[in-house]
């Protein structure tokens, strides 16, 4: 898939870029000639992808930060601007799972952590990066939401509401920044074969056969299938799309049969 982007070399910041969808996206962006800032939180977790992109001759920067912390978000945005001079693209991808236990047994601090990483992190990163984009009169932001935010999933009392909040925040930011030539959209993946989902399957938390039976396409998605949609929204081909959420779930959310 070609980027179809005109003008000078583009610069992207991807949060949670050391694994899963984020890792696949960083690699795809680098292959398209985009300079990539990879945010991560665990020391050493991004070493392999940083080394891989460097070996390919790509322009890449590692950015360790907890996106729940305002000072740390501001610091990585400043580092991006110091290194690349601008930020054209932001993909708010960082996320964790919740406890998958009944709400009456849920720990409040764990609930807060999930909500803060997803919703507060998306808010803070979007706000700080938009300050750069507004000056440059150009920007594309893509927020990674989830089908869990579209309906009620039992025992997802932190993950679901936070992902739903991201979809509403996407609309608000898109309307506010449209006059600044900044497009803001979201992608809501279904069950994607990432490290986190594979771990749940190994532990028996998710039963793959049950999931596949519920998906009309009868399979889990791949990170690359989410990446393709994100690239479309970042590209010139998606220039007239803003304030929307594209669902990529193999038909899960459309399926009405019990």
Query: Do you know the residue count of the chain?
Result: 258
What is the per-residue pLDDT for 247?
Answer: 98
What is the per-residue pLDDT for 95?
Answer: 95
Backbone angles phi, psi at 142, to 5 degrees: -125, 125
Torsion, Cα of 38, 42, 48, 50 (10° steps): 20
Q: CB–CB of 29/227 below 8 Å?
A: no
Q: Which residues are catalytic?
A: 159
DSSP 192: B
The domain locations on the chain are 11-251
Q: How far apart are CA 32 and CA 10, in angstroms?
A: 9
- Say which CATH topology domain 11-251 has: Rossmann fold (3.40.50)
Question: Can you spell out the DSSP letters for 213-241?
Answer: HHSTT-S-B-HHHHHHHHHHHHSGGGTT-
pTM comes to 0.95
Q: Which residue from 157, 154, 215, 158 is spatially nearest to 189, judged by alpha carbons?
A: 215
> pLDDT per residue over 136-178, tens digit each?
999 999 999 999 999 999 989 999 999 999 999 999 999 999 9
Q: Could you report the average pLDDT of every consecutive run of 10 residues in the chain (258 residues)?
A: 65 96 97 97 94 94 98 98 98 93 93 97 98 98 97 93 98 98 98 90 90 95 98 97 98 86
What is the per-residue pLDDT for 5?
Answer: 58
């Amino acid at each position: 898939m070609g980027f179809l982007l005109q003008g000078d070399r583009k610069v992207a910041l991807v949060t949670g870029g050391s694994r899963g969808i984020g890792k696949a996206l960083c690699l795809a962006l680098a292959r398209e000639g985009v300079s990539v800032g990879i945010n991560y939180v665990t020391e050493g977790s991004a070493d392999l992808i940083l080394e891989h992109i460097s070996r390919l001759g790509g322009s890449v920067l590692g950015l360790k930060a907890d996106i729940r912390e305002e000072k740390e978000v501001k610091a990585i945005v400043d580092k991006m601007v110091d290194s690349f001079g601008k930020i054209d693209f932001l993909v708010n991808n960082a996320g964790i799972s919740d406890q998958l236990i009944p709400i009456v047994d849920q720990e409040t601090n764990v609930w807060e952590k999930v909500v803060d990483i997803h919703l507060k992190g998306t808010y803070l990163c979007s706000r700080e990066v938009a300050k750069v984009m507004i000056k440059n009169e150009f920007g594309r932001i893509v927020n990674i939401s989830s089908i869990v935010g579209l309906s009620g999933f039992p025992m997802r009392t932190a993950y679901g509401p936070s992902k739903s909040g991201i979809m509403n925040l996407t609309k608000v930011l898109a309307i506010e920044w449209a006059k600044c030539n900044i497009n803001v959209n979201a992608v809501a993946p279904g069950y994607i074969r990432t490290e986190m989902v594979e771990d749940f399957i190994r532990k028996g938390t998710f039963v793959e056969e049950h999931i596949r039976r519920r998906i009309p396409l009868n399979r889990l998605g791949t990170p690359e299938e989410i990446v393709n949609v994100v690239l479309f929204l970042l590209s010139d081909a998606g220039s007239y799309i803003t304030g929307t959420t594209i669902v990529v779930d193999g038909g899960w959310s459309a399926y009405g049969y019990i």
